[in-house]
Amino acid sequence: MPNVKSAIKRARTASRKREANKAKRSEMRTAIRKCREAMLANAENKKELLIAAIKKVDMAASKKLIHKNTASRRKSQLLKAYNASQVSE
């Protein structure tokens, strides 16, 4: 437990940031999961879900929640799955 006033403030700030980052990471993962499920079910709205998922991944990378290479890999995997689902129609 911090004793110095500035350390106490930093601990509070870090705690708030950790919760916010956790929520944003969770939103990103949920968007990816919904997109994948839509592709497997061949849903009508899979393109909109793909765009939303890519946007969430890009935002997470820009906020340094995930590494830019990880973001690139996840987007690539989503697009590959989307293209495969387009061919199967």
Output the pLDDT for position 89: 66
The count of other CB atoms within 10 Å of the CB of residue 32 is: 21
Count of helices and strands (H, E) across the chain: 3, 0
Q: Which CATH class is domain 5-87?
A: mainly alpha
Using 70 as the pLDDT threshold, list the residues of the chain that sit under it.
89
User: pLDDT at position 34, please?
Assistant: 97
